[in-house]
Chain A
Amino acid sequence: MRIFTLSLSALLMAFATTSVMAQQGHPLAGIWIGDWGPATDTRNFVVVEMNWHDTTLSGNINPGFPDAATITGSELNSSNWTVHLEAQGNDESGNSVSTMIDGRLENLGSPNRVLSGTWQKGAVKGDFTLTRE
């Protein structure tokens, strides 16, 4: 419990710093916060960190948490601002699991733009909404 509290505190501090430094640049780069889940009453808090370097996107889902996943593949279709992300990580039990995310960017001109769509983690399918901090 203490480790979880410390991790959460560190994560929140990182978010606070990032919010001050909120940047634009590449449309996907930044810290995104939101939730995903198979139903409106079954939601999972999620943080996605994405970085853009030259022509490559890298990033992590829920960095620092037991269910963290590394983004292993990405595609941004800038003709309609749709996004495909693939990630590999663990579930809460530590078992390897793949995540597939398909979404669309909205409010593109805002630093606090929104990415929403479908989220599949293992066999569980749902929807998601992320807002860039």
Chain B
Amino acid sequence: MASSAAAIPQAAKSKSFVSRMFGGDQIAFAITWTFAAFILLITATLVWQLWVKSMPARDKFGFEFFTTTTWDPPGEKFGALPFIYGTVVTSFVALLISVPLGVGAAIFLSEMAPRKLSNIATFLVELLAAVPSVIYGLLAIFTLIPLLRTIGEPLLQSTLGFLPFFDGPMYGVSFLAAGFILAIMTFPFIISISREALMEVPREQREAALALGATKWEATWQAVVPHARLGIMGSVFLGLARALGETMAVTMVIGNTPTISASLFSPGSTIAASIANEFAEASGDVYKASLIYLGLVLFLLTIVINGLARILIIATTRKGST
């Protein structure tokens, strides 16, 4: 025993200078810490760049940027209201379609379907999330747009035409088309996270309601869904964040004209679509800066919505970290 105790300082002495100063653990710590810190650095640079590079537009237009509607590159007058309007309208239409369908599907998958079927269906739905957005756009151009122009929009006009939303000329490319495609793209988020939240609801909640004589639907709607409402709201916010930032599919179906129109049949544009469409060709500092300013607005918007979603999801499920 005594000999092995004496051997330890011996071994320590024979180590090189570097490893005596910093053990392997400290080196490993320093290396991995550097890379973690790099992520902070790069994100800080991103914010900084967006802020600095949008300076010319912020100086020139100030708050008017958000309240004026003229988007006139040759005249160097930029008002972002049509794009903000388009972003809000398309996201709203998307959620109007995807929330009832998505939550309905989530209820079916968590409450009704056998576990095996539920898992397979969820797997398939989550695959939808992996499909690149440019492919949604490609499909929409050649299927959704002609369908809307020839069948969907005339039908809506003849039945609901008294509303200002379903009025005016029909081109196919429209707020409505963008809303539809965004709805399809937000399904996977809403379904998979709402299902997760519903499955976290304790069994007793269902059994208590059923024992009181509730039907299956009453138990689900009055006892289970309210219990999972925060998680469901979180999934909706997550879908919303996706819809707000979605670029390619929207650019391909919305028509890219800065218009504000009550009619959903009208072509329009969104923040992301206008950047995608104009940035490469934009000449002049103010033009570029205005587009970067739009990027900054979009960035802040999605951060807030994502943050809200995360808080809500963490509150109800354990899947919040993804």
Tell whether A pairs with B. no
Residues of A within 8 A of B (CB): none
Q: Which residues of B contact A (CB under 8 A)?
A: none
